[in-house]
Amino acid sequence: MRSLLFLILFLGVFPVLSAAQTGPEQGGHEIQIWTGGGHSVPGGTSHTSVFNAGLRYGWVLTGFHLPSILRGRFEYAVDAVPLFLVFQPANTTYGLGFDPVGLKWDFERRGRLLPYLEICGGTLFSNNDVPTGTNTVNFTDQAAFGVHFLGAKHNVSLEVRYMHISNAGLSTPNPGVNTVQVRLGVGKFYGGGPGP
Protein backbone atom coordinates (compact mmCIF):
# COMPACT_ATOMS: atom_id res chain seq x y z
CA MET A 1 0.00 0.00 0.00
CA ARG A 2 2.82 2.42 0.86
CA SER A 3 4.57 1.58 -2.41
CA LEU A 4 1.42 2.33 -4.38
CA LEU A 5 0.95 5.66 -2.59
CA PHE A 6 4.61 6.57 -3.22
CA LEU A 7 4.26 5.69 -6.92
CA ILE A 8 1.12 7.83 -7.28
CA LEU A 9 2.83 10.77 -5.55
CA PHE A 10 5.99 10.38 -7.65
CA LEU A 11 4.12 10.18 -10.95
CA GLY A 12 1.90 13.06 -9.93
CA VAL A 13 4.53 15.43 -8.57
CA PHE A 14 7.27 14.77 -11.16
CA PRO A 15 5.50 16.68 -13.96
CA VAL A 16 5.21 19.69 -11.63
CA LEU A 17 8.95 20.14 -12.12
CA SER A 18 8.33 21.05 -15.78
CA ALA A 19 6.19 23.85 -17.22
CA ALA A 20 2.87 24.30 -15.45
CA GLN A 21 -0.61 24.31 -16.96
CA THR A 22 -2.52 27.56 -16.67
CA GLY A 23 -5.15 26.38 -14.17
CA PRO A 24 -8.88 27.08 -14.24
CA GLU A 25 -10.26 29.58 -16.72
CA GLN A 26 -13.79 30.89 -17.14
CA GLY A 27 -15.78 28.52 -19.35
CA GLY A 28 -13.27 25.72 -18.75
CA HIS A 29 -13.60 22.36 -17.05
CA GLU A 30 -11.86 20.19 -14.47
CA ILE A 31 -11.56 16.41 -14.58
CA GLN A 32 -10.00 14.41 -11.77
CA ILE A 33 -9.65 10.99 -10.20
CA TRP A 34 -9.13 11.00 -6.45
CA THR A 35 -8.81 8.84 -3.37
CA GLY A 36 -8.94 9.66 0.31
CA GLY A 37 -9.36 8.35 3.78
CA GLY A 38 -9.46 9.28 7.40
CA HIS A 39 -10.74 8.57 10.86
CA SER A 40 -13.69 9.65 12.99
CA VAL A 41 -13.41 12.69 15.24
CA PRO A 42 -15.51 13.75 18.26
CA GLY A 43 -19.12 14.75 17.71
CA GLY A 44 -20.46 11.45 16.36
CA THR A 45 -19.80 7.74 16.29
CA SER A 46 -16.22 6.89 17.28
CA HIS A 47 -13.77 4.15 16.27
CA THR A 48 -14.75 4.45 12.60
CA SER A 49 -12.53 4.95 9.55
CA VAL A 50 -13.35 5.60 5.91
CA PHE A 51 -11.64 5.09 2.57
CA ASN A 52 -13.12 6.34 -0.69
CA ALA A 53 -12.25 6.92 -4.33
CA GLY A 54 -14.05 8.74 -7.09
CA LEU A 55 -14.23 10.82 -10.22
CA ARG A 56 -14.84 14.57 -10.49
CA TYR A 57 -16.12 16.79 -13.26
CA GLY A 58 -16.19 20.55 -12.77
CA TRP A 59 -17.32 23.67 -14.61
CA VAL A 60 -15.41 26.94 -14.06
CA LEU A 61 -18.30 29.41 -14.08
CA THR A 62 -16.72 32.82 -13.50
CA GLY A 63 -13.72 34.97 -14.12
CA PHE A 64 -11.84 36.55 -11.23
CA HIS A 65 -13.81 38.16 -8.39
CA LEU A 66 -12.95 39.66 -4.98
CA PRO A 67 -9.84 41.63 -4.07
CA SER A 68 -6.37 40.72 -2.86
CA ILE A 69 -5.81 37.30 -1.27
CA LEU A 70 -9.50 36.37 -1.73
CA ARG A 71 -9.31 36.85 -5.52
CA GLY A 72 -10.44 33.74 -7.37
CA ARG A 73 -12.94 31.98 -9.58
CA PHE A 74 -16.12 30.05 -8.79
CA GLU A 75 -16.36 26.42 -9.90
CA TYR A 76 -19.28 23.99 -9.72
CA ALA A 77 -18.39 20.28 -9.54
CA VAL A 78 -19.98 16.85 -9.20
CA ASP A 79 -18.36 13.69 -7.84
CA ALA A 80 -19.19 10.05 -8.55
CA VAL A 81 -17.93 7.84 -5.71
CA PRO A 82 -17.97 4.17 -6.80
CA LEU A 83 -15.85 3.06 -3.83
CA PHE A 84 -16.72 4.04 -0.26
CA LEU A 85 -15.52 1.75 2.55
CA VAL A 86 -16.54 2.34 6.16
CA PHE A 87 -14.54 0.43 8.77
CA GLN A 88 -16.67 0.31 11.93
CA PRO A 89 -16.41 -1.93 15.01
CA ALA A 90 -19.29 -4.22 13.93
CA ASN A 91 -18.27 -4.68 10.28
CA THR A 92 -16.67 -3.26 7.17
CA THR A 93 -19.30 -1.69 4.95
CA TYR A 94 -19.14 -1.12 1.20
CA GLY A 95 -20.98 1.79 -0.33
CA LEU A 96 -21.18 4.10 -3.27
CA GLY A 97 -22.06 7.74 -3.41
CA PHE A 98 -22.85 10.72 -5.55
CA ASP A 99 -22.11 14.35 -4.69
CA PRO A 100 -24.28 16.51 -6.98
CA VAL A 101 -23.46 19.79 -5.23
CA GLY A 102 -19.82 20.89 -5.17
CA LEU A 103 -19.19 24.61 -4.64
CA LYS A 104 -15.50 25.40 -5.08
CA TRP A 105 -13.55 28.65 -4.87
CA ASP A 106 -10.30 28.41 -6.87
CA PHE A 107 -8.03 31.16 -5.54
CA GLU A 108 -5.69 32.96 -7.93
CA ARG A 109 -2.68 30.77 -8.61
CA ARG A 110 0.57 31.50 -6.85
CA GLY A 111 3.29 30.21 -9.15
CA ARG A 112 2.46 26.54 -9.65
CA LEU A 113 0.24 26.40 -6.58
CA LEU A 114 -3.50 26.87 -6.82
CA PRO A 115 -5.22 26.84 -3.39
CA TYR A 116 -8.97 26.26 -3.09
CA LEU A 117 -11.85 26.00 -0.63
CA GLU A 118 -14.85 23.77 -1.18
CA ILE A 119 -18.18 22.81 0.36
CA CYS A 120 -20.24 19.99 -1.06
CA GLY A 121 -22.95 17.50 -0.32
CA GLY A 122 -24.30 14.23 -1.54
CA THR A 123 -25.56 10.78 -0.71
CA LEU A 124 -24.06 7.49 0.42
CA PHE A 125 -25.75 4.13 -0.21
CA SER A 126 -24.24 1.18 1.67
CA ASN A 127 -24.75 -2.57 2.07
CA ASN A 128 -24.83 -2.27 5.91
CA ASP A 129 -26.04 0.43 8.27
CA VAL A 130 -23.68 3.40 8.76
CA PRO A 131 -23.31 3.78 11.69
CA THR A 132 -24.35 0.30 12.85
CA GLY A 133 -28.04 0.10 13.79
CA THR A 134 -29.14 3.17 11.82
CA ASN A 135 -29.67 3.21 8.04
CA THR A 136 -28.13 2.19 4.70
CA VAL A 137 -28.97 5.59 3.14
CA ASN A 138 -26.98 8.58 4.37
CA PHE A 139 -26.13 12.12 3.36
CA THR A 140 -22.61 13.54 3.27
CA ASP A 141 -21.93 17.19 4.11
CA GLN A 142 -18.32 18.16 3.42
CA ALA A 143 -15.88 21.05 3.61
CA ALA A 144 -12.31 21.03 2.28
CA PHE A 145 -9.20 23.13 1.97
CA GLY A 146 -6.63 22.04 -0.59
CA VAL A 147 -4.05 22.97 -3.15
CA HIS A 148 -3.48 21.97 -6.77
CA PHE A 149 0.17 21.53 -7.80
CA LEU A 150 0.01 22.52 -11.47
CA GLY A 151 2.10 20.40 -13.85
CA ALA A 152 2.67 20.47 -17.60
CA LYS A 153 -0.08 18.01 -18.53
CA HIS A 154 -1.99 17.49 -15.29
CA ASN A 155 -2.12 18.59 -11.69
CA VAL A 156 -1.94 16.84 -8.35
CA SER A 157 -4.22 18.00 -5.57
CA LEU A 158 -3.80 17.47 -1.85
CA GLU A 159 -6.50 18.45 0.61
CA VAL A 160 -7.86 18.09 4.12
CA ARG A 161 -11.58 17.31 4.13
CA TYR A 162 -14.14 17.25 6.94
CA MET A 163 -17.09 14.94 6.22
CA HIS A 164 -20.28 14.49 8.23
CA ILE A 165 -22.22 11.31 7.43
CA SER A 166 -25.82 11.27 8.67
CA ASN A 167 -29.20 9.79 7.69
CA ALA A 168 -30.88 13.19 8.35
CA GLY A 169 -33.58 11.64 10.50
CA LEU A 170 -34.57 8.82 8.12
CA SER A 171 -34.18 6.49 11.12
CA THR A 172 -33.66 6.70 14.85
CA PRO A 173 -31.11 6.86 16.36
CA ASN A 174 -29.09 9.17 14.13
CA PRO A 175 -25.67 9.63 15.78
CA GLY A 176 -23.82 10.29 12.50
CA VAL A 177 -20.13 9.93 11.79
CA ASN A 178 -17.71 12.88 11.62
CA THR A 179 -14.40 12.27 9.86
CA VAL A 180 -11.32 14.24 8.92
CA GLN A 181 -9.77 12.89 5.74
CA VAL A 182 -6.76 13.49 3.53
CA ARG A 183 -7.55 13.34 -0.18
CA LEU A 184 -5.13 13.00 -3.09
CA GLY A 185 -6.21 13.63 -6.68
CA VAL A 186 -4.76 13.69 -10.18
CA GLY A 187 -6.52 15.72 -12.86
CA LYS A 188 -6.40 18.64 -15.24
CA PHE A 189 -8.09 21.88 -16.15
CA TYR A 190 -8.92 22.38 -19.81
CA GLY A 191 -10.80 24.70 -22.15
CA GLY A 192 -12.13 28.17 -21.47
CA GLY A 193 -10.47 31.51 -21.89
CA PRO A 194 -8.88 34.08 -19.61
CA GLY A 195 -12.20 35.85 -18.96
CA PRO A 196 -12.43 39.20 -17.18
How many Å apart are CA 76 and CA 99, to the nearest integer? Answer: 11
pLDDT, position 89: 94
Using only C-alpha atoms, what is the Rg of the chain? 18
Tell me, which fold does domain 2-16+28-190 have in CATH?
Porin (2.40.160)
pLDDT digits (tens, 9 = 90+) for 23-53: 899 999 999 999 999 999 998 899 999 999 9
Among 17-21, 33-37, 41-45, 105-109, where is mean pLDDT lowest?
17-21
d(CA 188, CA 142): 22
Residue 18 is predicted with a pLDDT of 43
3-state helix, strand, coil in the chain (%, to 5): 10, 60, 30
7: pLDDT strictly greater than 60 = no
DSSP bridge pairs for 122? 140
pLDDT in tens, 58-87: 999 999 888 999 999 999 999 999 999 999
Q: Which of 15 and 34 is assigned the larger pLDDT?
A: 34
Q: Where are the domains of the chain?
A: 2-16+28-190
Specify whether the CB–CB gap between 126 and 118 falls below 8 A: no
- Mean predicted confidence (pLDDT) in 12-27: 63
Can you give the pLDDT at residue 3?
Answer: 46
Greater confidence (1 vs 128) lies with 128
pTM: 0.85
Give CA–CA dist 160/38, Å, rounded.
Answer: 10
- Name every residue whose Cβ is closer than 8 Å to that of residue 22 and which is 6 or more positions away in sequence: 150, 189
